Amino acid sequence: MMIVMKESATDEEIAAVAEKIERAGARAHRSQGARVTVIGAIGDVEQDASVESLGLEGQPGVDRVVPILKPYKLASAQFRHGERTVLDIDGRKVGGDHFALIAGPCTVESREQTLETARAVRDAGATLLRGGAYKPRTSPYAFQGLGQEGLRLLAEAKAETGLPVVTELMDVRDIDAVLEVADVIQIGARNMQNYSLLTEVGRSGRPALLKRGLSAPLDELLMAAEYILKEGNPAVMLCERGIRTFENAYRRVTLDLMAVPILKELSHLPVIVDPSHAAGRRDLVLSLSLAAAAAGADGIIVEVHPAPDEALCDGPQSLPTDTFAEYAAAVERAAALAGKALSAA
Ligand code: PEP
Ligand code: MN
């Protein structure tokens, strides 16, 4: 980072700042301009962090502190010198030229509902099966998911269809049970900044789908990904699922599609879009999916149900199984426009 000194800064003040930087483990590089002195603190991310914690803004003679390196080092595009991360989930690739269609029920409700959905999405060419056993619900009185029994049903659906499973982990106490079934651990929007959960997912080494918090700027999403990557787990997908804005014409949130190209510029990680939670309404899901695919998303995670009107959770936004194949074909065509092919085993 760069420390810009005030025009009025004395030699002693400049020396004191340089000394503090060096004591924090970084190198202080002075550059004396015609009017002001700028001190570059040169070091790696950890040293940058310790320089940041010095609170140099308040130091006598300091005008301002300007960060230069991205604080998310491992998630940054620079870290892989522009090369994209391509995940391999049980033979299905995500990222690069591979487009992942992740589909399934919001919530595992019953054996029939889960198996019927899994078969329908498999037949339509889905890459991965989604389904929640542990559900983050706004109301504590709403159906909270089947828990362990839900995991068991997902395992059965996987055994029958061969589709790898994406399911949410909400609580570190459930990680062993979830790891038995999940090929990808979903971290929900509400847990994006649950740092102890992110750390455990990082330690597990299991691929993760990290959803953007409802009010999280993109740099906070990338810092959350950094918690997982930092534990030595390189398999992280970022997921845009709609954010809160001032717009209230829609039922829920606004899909931030600009996040797709921006995240892909800032990071090497695959970017997935969730049109279902963004829309909150079934009739918007197709157009948002097509737009996401055309914008270069590496995949879509979408909710499907055999009888959406009877769903215990998120029925209004779920696509019916009987038209899912048509939807999948349209998404595949849009992904092809962006140079991607649907990923299969
Ligand atoms: C979900 O995927 O079912 C879900 C609850 O998503 P989010 O965390 O994005 O709200
Ligand atoms: Mn849902």
For residue 69, pLDDT beyond 80: no
212 lines ligand 1 (CB under 6 A): no
b/e per residue, 302-314, with b = 16+ CB within 10 A? Answer: bbbbbebeebbbb
Measured by CA distance, the residue closest to atom 8 of ligand 1 is 188
For residue 314, how far is its CA from the centre of ligand 2 (angstroms)?
5
277 lines ligand 1 (CB under 6 A): yes
92 lines ligand 1 (CB under 6 A): no
pLDDT at 26: 87
Mean pLDDT, residues 312-336 taken together: 97
For residue 277, how far is its CA from the centre of ligand 2 (angstroms)?
6
Higher pLDDT, 248 or 97: 97
For residue 254, pLDDT beyond 90: yes
241 lines ligand 1 (CB under 6 A): yes
For residue 67, how far is its CA from the centre of ligand 2 (angstroms)?
38
Higher pLDDT, 345 or 211: 211
206 lines ligand 1 (CB under 6 A): no
For residue 150, how far is its CA from the centre of ligand 1 (angstroms)?
16
Nearest C-alpha neighbor of 169 from the set 250, 90, 228, 110: 228
Q: What is the pLDDT of residues 73-127, one digit of tens each?
A: 899 998 888 899 999 999 999 999 999 999 999 999 999 999 999 999 999 999 9
Mean pLDDT, residues 39-65 taken together: 81
Q: In percent, how much of the chain has pLDDT > 90?
A: 84
Q: What is the pLDDT of residues 225-241, one digit of tens each?
A: 999 999 999 999 999 99
The predicted model scores a pTM of: 0.87
- Identify the DSSP state of 157: H
For residue 251, pLDDT beyond 80: no
For residue 220, how far is its CA from the centre of ligand 2 (angstroms)?
23
For residue 147, how far is its CA from the centre of ligand 2 (angstroms)?
15
Distance CA 243, CA 94 (A): 24
Distance CA 244, CA 80 (A): 32
Q: Which atom of ligand 1 is least distant from the CA of 314? A: 3
Adjacent-strand bridge partners of 211: 239
Q: Which atom of ligand 1 is least distant from the CA of 135? A: 5
Confidence of residue 310 (pLDDT cuts 50, 70, 90): very high
Amino acid at 281: R
Instruction: Say which residues have a Cβ less than 8 Å from residue 33's Cβ, sequence separation at least 6.
Output: none
**Full DSSP string of 225-248:** HHHHHHTT---EEEEE--B--S--
Mutation test residue for ligand 1: of 139, 169, 186, 288, the one with most atoms within 8 Å of CB: 186
Cβ–Cβ < 8 Å for 203, 186? no
Distance CA 327, CA 303 (A): 12
Measured by CA distance, the residue closest to atom 3 of ligand 1 is 106
Measured by CA distance, the residue closest to atom 6 of ligand 1 is 188
189 lines ligand 1 (CB under 6 A): yes
CA dist 238 → 88, 188, 247, 271, 337 (Å): 15, 11, 24, 5, 21
